[in-house]
Amino acid sequence: MAPSLLDLAPVVPVVVIEDASDAVPLARALVAGGLPAIEVTLRTPAALDAIRAIAGEVPEAVVGAGTVITPEQVTQTVAAGARFLVSPGWTHVLLEAMQASGVPFLPGVSTSSEVVALLERGVTEMKFFPAEAAGGTAYLRSLAGPLPQARFCPTGGIGSANAPDYLALPNVGCVGGTWMLPADAIAARDWGRVEALAREAAGLKTLGAQV
């Protein structure tokens, strides 16, 4: 059985790529740092080309598409090589498209009712977004008792300081974040710095287990 997306690494980098030519060296730096699951968000015109480039040239990366909000985007990103999908929220139409895609997906939730609705449909792995604004670790901890079968990748407002607190929760498999991708490092194409920050992030699971 293939490992869960939530178990590939403690942190999933949430990547916004403005220039598709940056995609491959950026992905290689993240993988070298120990973060193989890479979420490329559909927030820029370069996103699909970036996913295609990473899928074709960095086979050790598990590249996915983020900010997926339409069935058309599901089709386009999977065709480009996305191996998982992440949405900020979900509708019945979007969920059906993601379920039919043949790749793992994390639909976004921020309330217990949304979690229960997904559990009814057999979905147990979800994105908790926007994590800090929606109640943070306290909210997720309160869900663990009544809804222990749900597992989450919290994203939104998470950085190196609070990531261990999330990772210590029993219902959190990984977190999503951007702190290993500082804008000035990307602009300077300082992939060595990205790799170093990725390596620090990859070590957070151990810290989280000790909290």
Residue with tokens 């139409």: 93
Active-site option among 39, 125, 195, 205: 39
* Angstrom distance (rounded) from CA 17 to CA 111: 30
* Angstrom distance (rounded) from CA 199 to CA 34: 6
**Runs of H (alpha helix) within the chain:** 23-32, 47-57, 71-80, 92-100, 112-120, 136-144, 163-167, 183-187, 191-202, 204-210
First to last CA, the chain: 30
On whether the CB atoms of residues 68 and 48 are closer than 8 A, the answer is no
On whether the CB atoms of residues 17 and 50 are closer than 8 A, the answer is yes
Told to judge if 127 belongs to the known catalytic residues of this protein, a careful annotator would answer yes
Structure tokens at 5: 């997306």
Nearest to 8 by CA among 46, 50, 37, 38: 37
Active-site option among 125, 127, 195, 205: 127
Catalytic residues: 39, 127
